[in-house]
Amino acid sequence: MFKQYIKNIWASLKQDSVVTIINILGTALAIFLIMVVVLMQEVKVLPFSPESNRDLFLICNALTETSIGKENTSMTSGRMSEATAKELFSSLKNVKDVTLFSGGGGLSKLVSANKSIPMQAESAYTDDAFWRVFDFKFLSGKPFDNATFKAGQKVVVISESVARHLFHDVNVAGREIEMDFVPYRICGVVRDVSLIASQAYAQLWIPYTTSDIVKLTSGLDNVKLGGTFSAVILANSKSDFPKIKAQVNARVAAINSRIKADKVKLELKGRPMTQFESSITTWSNELPEPGKFYRKAAIILLILLLVPAINLSSMTQSRLRRYITEIGIRRAFGCPRSRLLSDIINENLVLSVIAGIVGLLFCVIFAYFASDMLFTSDWSGFFGHPTVSLSLLLNPKIFLFAFIFCFILNLMSTIIPALHASHTNIVNALNGRTR
Amino acid sequence: MSMIKLEGISKVYRTKEVETLALENVNIEVEKGEFLSVMGPSGCGKSTLLNIIGLLDTPTSGSVIIDGTTIEQMPDKVVAAFRNKMIGFIFQSFHLIQSLNVIDNVEVPLLYRSISAKERHQKAKEVLEKVGLSHRMHHMPSELSGGQCQRVAIARAIIGTPEIILADEPTGNLDSKMGAEIMEILHHLNKDENRTIVMVTHNEEQAKQTSRTIRFFDGRQVE
Amino acid sequence: MIMNKKLLKQIKNEWRSNVWLFVELFFVSVLMWYVVDYIYTTVLTYVQPMGFDISHSYDLHCTTLDSSDPNFDPNDTVPYKDLKEIADRLRQRPDVEEVSISSYAVPYSGGCMMSDFKFDTLTSQSVYYKYADPEFFRIFRIHGAHGETPEQLSELMAKGPDTFLAGEDVFPKDSKPSMKSMIGKIFYFNNDSTVSHRLAGLFKPIRYDDFKTHKESHSIICHITNKDIDSYSDIAIRVKENQDKDFQSTLWKETTTRLKVRNMYVSQIESFSDLRTQINQPVNNTMRNYLFGAGFLLLNIFLGLLGTFWFRTQQRRSEVALFKALGATDTSIFGRQMTEGILLLTIATIPAIIIDWNLASAELNTSVDGKTLEAGRFIATIAITYLLIALMIFFGNLMPARKAMKVQPAEALHEE
């Protein structure tokens, strides 16, 4: 039957070239836009270096303190202090590793080498587990280990572009640079990290034991649980997530019983979160609400599908009119309605998929070259330009999405004309009337 | 038991303002192996009669009984199966699918049976030989003469070995020589393969050669 | 006119084949209006005067050394002295026109301080409290409400450490007492009666950023005192017009040398136009999304019309041939087809307007200063929507209508 579809489509192209081409363009356009929208969300969730383990991450980058039992309830939320982060996330069972770090932008440093022109670079303060949780690509040297971290040695891992700016070379492990006028030794150089890797992103990575940043705390009254730290847990498998969360919740309860006397309550608001939940949550005191996200996404996708579906429907209707005689003939010789229906829908599906591939191709090319325009999130303009690799864009998940939308669009735009055509009175159909 | 039986068949066409009575209380019986001619002036309902027998249209009242089975209120799948297995239609204007070649056109009825493509192709070749067109298998309908087109239509109508063949003025668009050829094929199918044929025609000569003729006038059977 | 009546009749008779087109036009009209409404209101806000000038201006931030730093000077406990000295050094540069120190004041700054502003029985909510030195007015070329030049405003501010200037729209125009009459009077902020402030003058309103309206940007600028200056304060520089070439990179080179005083050093230099781009990012992102959406909708109309009318032209060949044989000109054939499309749009727009009106009344569209439905705005957005879709109909119909024009009567009638 497939050969038959191709034959019909080819005949369509030759006979009704304009309408068929418009059909293809309309479908390609719809798939293009839908996939752009899908990509903009997927990029926040798909794994890639150095966040290749995104599927196994549990992320906590905020806590909330609320005062209880007072007339004026006050609330504060933000990152965690080192002490609190340790209390909540160190030595958890059923985890592969846990990293505590202070980063995510906003900590820029003045970096210079050999009295060269200084540059401003984003820095992150991390522990040694950071390098096990995230998979950075080292171009020179290696990450700092536990001993170095504990000793608070002044070492730094720098990104490729920082190395090139200061030394015009990437093999600079062992050399010295000055950061905010303090000398550090470069222990490793890594490939540049895209802004889209929101947890791991920085241009300099320093052991947090070298800085006072650890001592910064904030919070309500004298309960200073807040600070500048985030935590990322690397689980062994997704099935461990509930167990890990249960342990964390138990520790939160323990802290709460301790601070109860100060009339302050600690809440993590659904954290630690999965990568997906993290991608749909903006504010630190916000609970992840997948339901709301899916509803909003459904509405947007529905509109993106409905408008072209109506378009294509009218064109399909017109196309089917041409074939009404043929439809009559087939029915006269015993083609059941259901078979006719599925034939029409399937044939159109082949056309849709061809058009969908065209649309997807344009989408990928557009996303690659216009990544600035598409993936600059609301705040990231402060830190630079997002980059996106082709391998990320050509992910099988993306292809699957594109195919599913082709299928849905096809169904939406063909079902009514097909039903109409298959229920036309045979005699009328044979005579070219569509009633 | 008769092959085709029509009991009290009436067909009314209704539009907003006009009601047309195409057939009024028609009762006909056709035995197996009969070659029936239906004659009458234009617009008197002959084609409508054929369409109803061929299950292409539903009567406003009355029953259609094919080979003992009453076709009434049946699901589309069942009726379609009947059309496919029991009936072969030959139209006056051929109604070949222009975008398909001869052999693909002939295969159409077999697409709705569960047989392999190879078998289908084989049967089509056989039946095209029967009508003398095996040398034109891969031509397009636009490349054939009127007589050849009708022969393809006949091949299509008989490829599924239906019991009943319905022909609506099969020679209406052909010259006398081609028309004679077509009639020869039809008679052969009737006599040698015992198919039941109902033919609508204007041609007295042709009607005389069939086993029985009925006449229609204004939707009613006369004579 | 007879043609159009007949056309309307024809459209009515052919309503079945027009159903899809009608549904699409209706649906797209509503969606398009929503998008146009957002873009219209946003653009309208964007083009309002800012009240300041950021050309050739740069924003500097300083950082204090870590206490663990070997160069850390434990005796340096007055950050404002360090900052002031850095500012002085900058002021002495030949390419620098003016330098100012401020907190929560510069345009496009990320931080802000907001509170209520009271006088007598009048209260203005959510007013920005900005702290700046007199040079601030000169750098940003802020003008007075009564025609004062930036220099004059600067002098007014310099009168004393307790002076402040207010935007002339902080209280409504018709407030009693008027803002003008408040000049010279004493104010107390945040119910703190220990510190008095004197209103020295009014300035022309300053907008907070390109997408905030005047109503959302009420502000006062207070004379900055030493206790307001810390390492988070902004040092704003205006560079002489003809010397603003690679200023940023030139200055960078001095960060490790001349721009370091005791524990404080310049760690960030950005042009205000860069800051402006960053602050505008969220709205720019939304605009981008909406523009994509609008383009998508319009393209769909274009394609849909092209397809439907192309097919229709083929179907109607004999009809057109007949008209031609009866004496219709090519242009009139063309015009007729065009009119059909526009008529369909007009008919579809009527229910669309009703839906749009309901959406606006239910406050489901963009809110500007709390308003969602205003006569001028509604009419303008409906008109723009209609025109844009009509334009697409025109372009979509161009090829098919021209094709209809070219029908040869004899040929077409022969086919029939």
pLDDT the model gives residue A381: 54
A22 & A87 share domain: no
* Contact residues on chain C for A33, CB-CB shorter than 8 A: 292, 296
Per-chain mean pLDDT for chain C:
87
For the residues A382-408, what does the mean pLDDT come to? 80
* Contact residues on chain B for A326, CB-CB shorter than 8 A: 97, 99
Query: Residue B41 is encoded by which pair of tokens?
Result: 């002036």
Residue that wins the pLDDT comparison between A320 and C103: C103
> Which of A19, A119, A211 shows the shortest C-beta gap to C310?
A19
Cα separation, A405 vs C54, whole angstroms: 47
* Contact residues on chain C for A26, CB-CB shorter than 8 A: 300, 303-304, 307
Cα separation, A253 vs A247, whole angstroms: 10
Instruction: Please report, rounded to a whole number, the percentage of residues in chain A having pLDDT higher than 70.
Output: 96
* Contact residues on chain B for A328, CB-CB shorter than 8 A: 95
- CB–CB of A336 and B77 under 8 A? yes
- CB–CB of B91 and A430 under 8 A? yes
Q: Which ipTM value was assigned to this complex?
A: 0.89
Preferred mutation among A14, A329, A346 to probe B, highest tally of B CBs within 10 A: A329
C24 touches chain A (CB under 8 A): yes
Scanning every residue of chain B, which has its alpha carbon at the shortest distance from the alpha carbon of A340?
B112
pLDDT the model gives residue A303: 87
A308 within some domain: yes
Scanning every residue of chain A, which has its alpha carbon at the shortest distance from the alpha carbon of C290?
A300
Task: Give Cα A65 distance to the centre of its chain.
Answer: 29
Cα separation, C331 vs B177, whole angstroms: 51
Q: Which of A235, A268, A301 is the last residue before a domain boundary?
A: A268
Cα separation, A36 vs C174, whole angstroms: 50
> Which of C23, C28, C292 shows the shortest C-beta gap to A33?
C292
Give the total number of structural domains in chain A.
2
A214 & A68 share domain: yes
What's domain B33-55+73-210's superfamily in CATH? Answer: P-loop containing nucleotide triphosphate hydrolases (3.40.50.300)
Q: Is the pLDDT of residue A110 over 80?
A: no
* Contact residues on chain A for B81, CB-CB shorter than 8 A: 334, 336
Q: Residue C153: pLDDT band by 50, 70, 90 thresholds?
A: very high
- CB–CB of B97 and A426 under 8 A? no
* Contact residues on chain A for C69, CB-CB shorter than 8 A: 180-182
Full 3-state SS string of chain A: CHHHHHHHHHHHHHHCHHHHHHHHHHHHHHHHHHHHHHHHHHCCCCCECCECCHHHEEEECCEEEEECCCCCCCEEEECECHHHHHHHHCCCCCEEEEEEEECCCCCEEEEECCCCCCEEEEEEEECCCHHHHCCCCEEEECCCCHHHHHHCCCEEEEEHHHHHHHHCCCCCCCCEEEECCEEEEEEEEECCCCCCCCCCCCCEEEEHHHCHHHHCCEEECCEEEECCEEEEEEECCHHHHHHHHHHHHHHHHHHHHHHHHHCEEEECCCCCECHHHHHCCCCCCCCCCHHHHHHHHHHHHHHHHHHHHHHHHHHHHHHHHHCHHHHHHHHHCCCCHHHHHHHHHHHHHHHHHHHHHHHHHHHHHHHHHCHHHHHCCCCHHHCCCCCCCHHHHCCHHHHHHHHHHHHHHHHHHHHHHHHHHHCCCHHHHHCCCCC
Where in chain B are the domains? 33-55+73-210
Residue that wins the pLDDT comparison between A167 and A111: A167
Residues 6+ positions from A90 with CB-CB distance below 8 Å = A98, A100
Q: Residue A382: pLDDT band by 50, 70, 90 thresholds?
A: low
pLDDT in tens, C96-107: 999 999 999 999
Its domain, for residue A30, covers 2-48+291-430
Kindly compute the dihedral angle of the four CA atoms of residues A234, A236, A238, A244, in this order, to the nearest 10 degrees.
-70
A283 touches chain C (CB under 8 A): no
Q: Which of A268, A300, A334 is the last residue before a domain boundary?
A: A268
> Which of B80, B85, B96 shows the shortest C-beta gap to A336?
B80
Preferred mutation among B78, B79, B83 to probe A, highest tally of A CBs within 10 A: B83
A301 touches chain C (CB under 8 A): no
* Contact residues on chain A for C68, CB-CB shorter than 8 A: 210-212
> Which of A29, A117, A377 shows the shortest C-beta gap to C299?
A29
pLDDT in tens, B86-145: 999 998 888 998 888 899 999 999 999 988 989 999 999 999 998 889 898 999 999 998
pLDDT the model gives residue C1: 46
- CB–CB of B81 and A336 under 8 A? yes
Q: Is the pLDDT of residue A179 over 50?
A: yes
* Contact residues on chain A for C23, CB-CB shorter than 8 A: 310
* Contact residues on chain B for A15, CB-CB shorter than 8 A: 99
- CB–CB of C303 and A29 under 8 A? yes
Q: Is the pLDDT of residue C3 over 60?
A: no
Query: Residue B104 is encoded by which pair of tokens?
Result: 């693909």
Per-chain mean pLDDT for chain A:
87
A38 & A67 share domain: no
Q: Residue C155: pLDDT band by 50, 70, 90 thresholds?
A: very high
- Which spans in C100-146 are helix H? 135-139
User: Rounded to a whole number, what is the distance in Å from the CA of A134 to chain C's nearest CA?
Assistant: 28
> Which of C21, C27, C282 shows the shortest C-beta gap to A314?
C21
Q: Which of A210, A233, A268 is the last residue before a domain boundary?
A: A268
Q: Is the pLDDT of residue C2 over 60?
A: no
pLDDT in tens, A122-168: 889 999 999 999 999 999 999 999 999 999 999 999 999 999 988 88
A302 & A230 share domain: no
- CB–CB of B57 and A427 under 8 A? yes
Scanning every residue of chain A, which has its alpha carbon at the shortest distance from the alpha carbon of B85?
A334
- CB–CB of B109 and A334 under 8 A? yes
Query: Residue B166 is encoded by which pair of tokens?
Result: 């319905």
Q: Is the pLDDT of residue C129 over 90?
A: yes
User: Rounded to a whole number, what is the distance in Å from the CA of A149 to chain C's nearest CA?
Assistant: 17
pLDDT the model gives residue C16: 72
* Contact residues on chain A for B80, CB-CB shorter than 8 A: 331, 334-337, 339
The structure's pTM equals 0.80
* Contact residues on chain C for A311, CB-CB shorter than 8 A: 24, 300, 303-304, 307
pLDDT in tens, C232-249: 889 999 999 888 888 888
Scanning every residue of chain B, which has its alpha carbon at the shortest distance from the alpha carbon of A334?
B84
pLDDT in tens, C214-223: 999 999 999 9
A103 & A239 share domain: yes
- CB–CB of B108 and A329 under 8 A? yes
A419 touches chain C (CB under 8 A): no
pLDDT the model gives residue C272: 94
Q: Is C414 left (phi over 0), alpha (psi -120 to 50) or beta?
A: alpha
pLDDT in tens, A39-60: 888 888 988 889 999 999 999 9
- CB–CB of A334 and B80 under 8 A? yes
Per-chain mean pLDDT for chain B:
88
The interface residues of chain C toward chain A in range 46-105, judged by CB-CB distance below 8 A, are: 63, 65-71
Q: Residue C8: pLDDT band by 50, 70, 90 thresholds?
A: confident
How many beta-carbon pairs below 8 A join chains A and C? 124
The interface residues of chain A toward chain C in range 201-220, judged by CB-CB distance below 8 A, are: 210-212
Touch between chain A and chain B (3+ CB pairs, < 8 Å)? yes
A84 & A220 share domain: yes
pLDDT in tens, A238-271: 999 999 999 999 999 999 999 888 888 899 999 9
A356 & A249 share domain: no
Scanning every residue of chain B, which has its alpha carbon at the shortest distance from the alpha carbon of A324?
B97
A327 within some domain: yes
* Contact residues on chain A for C22, CB-CB shorter than 8 A: none
pLDDT the model gives residue B114: 87
> Which of C27, C66, C306 shows the shortest C-beta gap to A212?
C66
- CB–CB of A315 and C308 under 8 A? yes
Where in chain C are the domains? 2-47+281-415, 77-261
pLDDT in tens, C321-369: 777 777 777 777 788 888 888 888 999 999 999 999 999 998 888 888 8
A86 & A229 share domain: yes
Scanning every residue of chain C, which has its alpha carbon at the shortest distance from the alpha carbon of A20?
C307
pLDDT in tens, A340-352: 999 888 888 888 8
Query: Where is B213: in which H helix or E strand?
Result: strand B212-217
> Which of A11, A326, A333 shows the shortest C-beta gap to B83?
A333
